[in-house]
Chains A and B, each alone.
Chain A
Amino acid sequence: MLNNILKRLGIFCLVLTVSTSLVFFMLHSLPGENAEVMAKYIFLGNVELNPSNEEVQLVKEKFDLDRSLLSQYYSWATNAFHGDLGRSYKTNAHVLEEILIRLPATITLALIAVLMSLLIGMPLGILAAVKQNSTTDYLCSATAVLGISMPNFWLALLLIMVFSLALKLTPTIGYGGPSHLILPVVTLGTATTAVVMRLTRSSTLEVMRQDYIRTARGKGLDHRDIMITHSLKNALIPIITMVGLEFGHLLGGAVIIETIFAWPGIGRLLIDSISARDIPVIQGTVLFITLMYMLLNFTIDILYPIFDPRIGGS
C-alpha cells in the first residue's frame, strides 16, 4: 500500500516536471518574443504598441533572457518550488497571489458540477439499464447524445436567454450568492452528466450479465438487493476511473464558462492572460489547472482499492 503510494507520488512528480517544462518551452519557443512582450508592457504599457529594438535589448539584458531555455526553466522551477511564480507583465502583481484569490471560485464551480453529474447521471444511467430498450432508455440515450454534442458556450447563452433574460429567475452573470452558481454549474455539468449516464448504463448492463448476478438471484435475493449490493459496487469501478479523466474536460469547459459568466476563477484568468500575452500568468494558471487535475486522479488512484479489492491489496 505504502509502496504503491510512493510509486504514484514518483510518477506524479515526473509528469508534473515534464508537463511544466513542456508548457514553458512552448510559451518561450518564439525567440525574442518574450522580451518583446515584456518591453511592450514596461515601456509602453500596452500590448498593441511596438517597442524599439533598444528597449527590447534592454529588457533582455535586465532579465537575462538570452540564457538557454533550460536554464531559464530551471530558475522558474526553483522559484515555483519556493512559491514564487513571478510577476504579471501586465499588472506586476504576484502570479501566485492572483491565482490563489481566484482558485476557490473555480474549485467550487468544478466540484459542484462533478457532484451534480454523479447525482443525476448515475441514477438515470441505472434506470436506463434496468429498463433496457424501453422508451425511458431511448429517451435517456437521446438526451445524453444531445448533452455531449451541445457546445457548452452555446448552452450557456441559451440558458441566460431563457432563465435570466426571459424568465428573470437567475442572475445573468457575475459572482455572489448561490443563485449565481446555478447557470454556470448546469452549463458545466451537462456534458459530464451525459457521459456519466452513458457509462453507468453500459457498465450496469455489463455487470448484470455476469455470473455472480445469477448467483445472487439463485440465493433468492430481490431485485433491489441485487442492484444495490451486487451490481452497483461493481459498476462503480469504471465510473470512478472515468470521473477522474472527465475532470480534465470539465476544467477545460470551466475556462470557457468562467469567461461567459464573468466568473472570477483561474479559467478566466487564463483566457485574459492569453489575450494579453502575459506569459508568467499563463504558465502559472496552467500549472494550477494541471495540478488540480492530477491531484484528483492521484486521489482516485490511492482510493481505488476501496472500490476494487482486487487491486493493490496485500
Chain B
Amino acid sequence: MTLLSIEHLNSHFMTVDGIVRAVDDVSLEIGENETLGLVGESGCGKTVLALSLLRLLSENTKTDGRVIYKGRDLLKLNEKELRGVRGKEIAHIFQNPLSSLNPVLTVGFQISEPFLRHQGLKKSIANSRAVQMLGLVRIPSAPDRAKEYPHEFSGGMRQRAMIAMGLACSPSLIIADEPTRGLDVTIQAQIVELMKDLIKNSGASMLLITHDLSLAAQLCDKVAVMYSGEIVEYADIKEFFKGPAHPYARSFLESVPSRGMKPIRGISPSLINPPPGCRFHPRCDCSMDICKSVHPPLTEVKDGQHARCLLYA
C-alpha cells in the first residue's frame, strides 16, 4: 500500500542570480511501514524536497506537482487543513537541532505542543506526556530535563528531543532530515539504534534524508539518489548495495570512507544553470557524445532498480 506518492514535484525559487531549480520533476513513492532513504551530496535539493512536502518553504518558493497522502493532495490543502496534517499525520524532524529548537522555551514545553495542538490535552497532561516522550528517546531523569532549555542539552540529547517531538502524536510518516549530522560517531550509533527501535515499534513510514550511505544502509528499505534536483537512481537497498546502476550513484558509493573514499572529480553543478543533456556528464567516466545533448529519462534497469542514464535507455 502506498502511503505517500510524490508526482512530478517541482520547487523553484527566485534569487538575484536567477531561478534555482532545487527540485525538478521528482516522482517518488513511500509505502506503509517502509523507510525510504533520499541520499545525495549537499546542495542537491534533498532538504528542499523534504520541506516542499508540508509546504514549509519560504514564500518566494514556487512548488507544483502533486503530493498525494492518503488520497489527499497536500499541495492543494488550505492552511488550516494543512496544519491538521503537520505534526499529527506527518512529522518533520528538522536538521540542526540547536537552531531548530526555540532557545527561550523549555524542551518539555516544545515537545508538549503537538499534544496541546492536535489532541487538545490539558497543559499538565500534555506536559507529562512530553516527559514520557523524553523517556522514550532514552533521556535520563526526563522529568528534570523537561524543565531545561535547549542550550543546557548536549548535541545528542537535542537530537533525541527533536525525535521525541516528531514522534509525539504517533504520525504515520516521519520526515527525518540528517538526523545524525554533526554528532560523534558513538552518539550517531545510539541515535541509529533508537530510530530503528522506534520505527519498528510504531509502524510508521519514514523518509530519511542523508548524505551518509552507511546510515541509509542501516535504516532504509529503499533508496533514492538525488543529483542536481533530480532523482537519478531508485532501488531496493539490497540491490543498490550490490551494484548501483547510475555512474553517479556508483561514484557516490565509492566515495564512502569504507569503500575507498575515492572522490568524484569536478564540482556539483549549479541549480540555476544545470548542464544540458545528462546533468552528470561533465563529471562522468562513461560519458558519451549523446550525453551532452539528450536528457535521459528514468528507466528500469532490472527488477525494481531504476536509473536516469543513457547507458540503459
**A118–B85 CA distance with the chains assembled, in angstroms:** 37
Which residues from 208 to 231 on chain A have a C-beta closer than 8 Å to any C-beta of chain B? 210-212, 214-222, 225, 229-230
**Residue B96 interfacial (CB < 8 Å):** yes
Chain B residue nearest to A230 (CB atoms) is B102
Q: Is the CB of B104 within 8 A of A233?
A: yes
**Residue B56 interfacial (CB < 8 Å):** yes
- Using known A-B contacts A215-B101, A230-B105, A233-B105, determine if residue A220 contacts B94 with beta carbons closer than 8 Å: no
Q: Is the CB of A229 within 8 A of B105?
A: yes
Q: Is the CB of B83 within 8 A of A220?
A: yes
- Using known A-B contacts A210-B99, A211-B99, A309-B149, determine if residue A217 contacts B56 with beta carbons closer than 8 Å: yes
A-B pair number, CB within 8 angstroms: 77
Q: Is the CB of B102 within 8 A of A212?
A: yes
Residues of A contacting B87 with CB < 8 Å?
A: 218-221
11 A-B pairs in the complex with CB atoms less than 8 angstroms apart: A211-B100, A212-B103, A214-B51, A218-B86, A219-B117, A220-B88, A225-B117, A230-B102, A310-B103, A310-B151, A313-B149
B residues lining the A interface (CB < 8 Å): 51, 54, 56, 80, 83-88, 91-92, 94, 96, 99-105, 110, 113-114, 117-118, 149, 151-152, 165
**A104–B160 CA distance with the chains assembled, in angstroms:** 54
Residue of A233, A234, A309 most packed against chain B (CB within 10 A):
A309
**Residue A307 interfacial (CB < 8 Å):** yes
Q: Is the interface of A mostly helix, strand, loop or mixed?
A: helix
Chain A residue nearest to B103 (CB atoms) is A310
Residues of A contacting B114 with CB < 8 Å?
A: 219-220
What is the minimal beta-carbon distance from B311 to any residue of chain A, in angstroms? 40
Q: Is the CB of B118 within 8 A of A309?
A: no
A residues lining the B interface (CB < 8 Å): 210-212, 214-222, 225, 229-230, 233-234, 237, 307-310, 313
What is the minimal beta-carbon distance from A289 to any residue of chain B, in angstroms? 33
B85, B91, B94, B102: the one contacting A234 at CB < 8 Å is: B102
Q: Is the CB of B151 within 8 A of A218?
A: no
A218, A219, A225, A234: the one contacting B103 at CB < 8 Å is: A234
Residues of A contacting B103 with CB < 8 Å?
A: 212, 234, 308-310
B84, B92, B99, B102: the one contacting A218 at CB < 8 Å is: B92
Q: Is the CB of A221 within 8 A of B117?
A: yes
Q: Is the CB of A219 within 8 A of B104?
A: no
**A237–B80 CA distance with the chains assembled, in angstroms:** 30
Chain B residue nearest to A236 (CB atoms) is B104
- Using known A-B contacts A211-B94, A211-B96, A212-B99, determine if residue A221 contacts B113 with beta carbons closer than 8 Å: yes
Q: Is the CB of A214 within 8 A of B56?
A: yes
Residues of B contacting A214 with CB < 8 Å?
A: 51, 56, 94, 100
A212, A221, A310, A313: the one contacting B100 at CB < 8 Å is: A212
| A-B interface, 8 closest residue pairs, ranked by CB to CB distance from nearest | A220-B86, A220-B87, A219-B87, A211-B99, A218-B92, A212-B102, A309-B149, A211-B100
**A149–B73 CA distance with the chains assembled, in angstroms:** 52
Residues of B contacting A229 with CB < 8 Å?
A: 105
Chain B residue nearest to A307 (CB atoms) is B104
Q: Is the CB of B96 within 8 A of A234?
A: no
- Using known A-B contacts A220-B117, A309-B149, determine if residue A215 contacts B102 with beta carbons closer than 8 Å: yes
Residues of A contacting B149 with CB < 8 Å?
A: 309-310, 313
Q: Is the CB of B86 within 8 A of A217?
A: yes
Residues of A contacting B56 with CB < 8 Å?
A: 214, 217-218
**A233–B104 CA distance with the chains assembled, in angstroms:** 7
**A218–B118 CA distance with the chains assembled, in angstroms:** 12
What is the minimal beta-carbon distance from A191 to any residue of chain B, in angstroms? 29
**A309–B149 CA distance with the chains assembled, in angstroms:** 7
Q: Is the CB of A220 within 8 A of B99?
A: no
Residues of A contacting B102 with CB < 8 Å?
A: 212, 215-216, 230, 233-234
Chain B residue nearest to A306 (CB atoms) is B104
Residues of B contacting A218 with CB < 8 Å?
A: 54, 56, 86-87, 91-92, 94
B83, B92, B94, B104: the one contacting A221 at CB < 8 Å is: B83
Q: Is the CB of A219 within 8 A of B113?
A: yes
**A95–B99 CA distance with the chains assembled, in angstroms:** 54
Chain A residue nearest to B51 (CB atoms) is A214
- Using known A-B contacts A214-B56, A215-B94, A218-B56, determine if residue A308 contacts B104 with beta carbons closer than 8 Å: yes
- Using known A-B contacts A211-B94, A211-B100, A313-B152, determine if residue A219 contacts B105 with beta carbons closer than 8 Å: no
What is the minimal beta-carbon distance from B117 to any residue of chain A, in angstroms? 5
Chain A residue nearest to B82 (CB atoms) is A220
What is the minimal beta-carbon distance from B287 to any residue of chain A, in angstroms? 39
Q: Is the CB of A215 within 8 A of B88?
A: no
**A307–B104 CA distance with the chains assembled, in angstroms:** 7
What is the minimal beta-carbon distance from A233 to any residue of chain B, in angstroms? 5
